[in-house]
Amino acid sequence: MVYISFSLLLPLSFPLNPKNPKRFSECPYKFNFRISLTIPSYSSQERSIALPEYGKYESVGTVSTESITNNPNECSNSPEIRQSGLPPLVSALKASAEENAATFHFPGHNRGHAAPASMTRLIGRRPYVHDLPELPELDNLFCPQGPILEAQTEASKLFGSSETWFLVGGTTCGIQAAIMATCSPGEFLILPRNCHLSAISAMVLSGAVPKYIVPDYKNDWDIAGGVTP
């Protein structure tokens, strides 16, 4: 049993005399914590991890510290991924999912090992395998330099666009970004009257003024159609 003690300096703010112009002050409080850890002996390069499941201990896998990298290009440009013939991000996801590694990151289902039994009975564990966050080998969506950047470049070629960005906030995020990037306060924006609510909120945020066009109505389908020029 190994005991570790550490101190945490936590600045707290609290109101003082209201007549005092400096109404708030920082008061440092020192808290001492003691954590007990049981550390089994492992080799320096390999660690075997086990997790309890349904009252039993099931081996999750082995982690080799030599294979860990913080360079997304190192993974995305690897021969295995480049020769797979799959899109860059799909290849990186596939390669990461096939690693025999224990995970200590989001999401909590741990590649399906800790998924709810009711869900695994319904769909199995395979759908969880590729549900991975922005690991070092999977690139960073906010500053892509590896497989995400390569995938966006390939998508731009396919779409015929000068630039492509992947969205994770749904269509709302893209519509708001497009309107706010192109419309200044007081400028007019022509759009169909049945536009998505995100377009309306984007006009509120950007200050743009809408000019609505009523779309054609498809009586056969009982839905709104396109806009006739």
Q: Is residue 7 pLDDT above 50, yes or no?
A: no
What is the pLDDT, as a whole number, of residue 46?
36
What is the pLDDT, as a whole number, of residue 82?
52
What is the pLDDT, as a whole number, of residue 42?
38
Q: Is residue 105 pLDDT above 60, yes or no?
A: yes
- Amino acid symbol at 120: T
- What average pLDDT does the segment 205-219 reach? 94
pLDDT confidence tier of residue 84, bands split at 50, 70 and 90? low
DSSP bridge partners of 49: 61
Contact partners, residue 76, CB within 8 Å, separation at least 6: 88, 91, 92, 137, 139, 146, 147, 150
The pLDDT mean for the chain works out to 70
Q: Is residue 3 pLDDT above 80, yes or no?
A: no
pLDDT tens column, 178-190: 999 999 999 999 9
Pairwise CA distance, residues 87 & 85, whole Å = 7
Q: Is residue 143 pLDDT above 90, yes or no?
A: no
* Burial classification of residue 137, based on how many CB atoms lie within 10 Å of its CB (0-12 exposed, 13-18 middle, 19 or more buried): buried
Contact partners, residue 71, CB within 8 Å, separation at least 6: 136, 146
Top mean pLDDT of 6-10, 105-109, 115-119, 180-184 is at 180-184
Residue written as tokens 């389908």? 221
Question: Torsion-angle region of residue 178: left (phi > 0), alpha (psi -120 to 50) or beta?
Answer: alpha
Distances (CA, A) of 13 to 8, 29, 32: 16, 11, 20
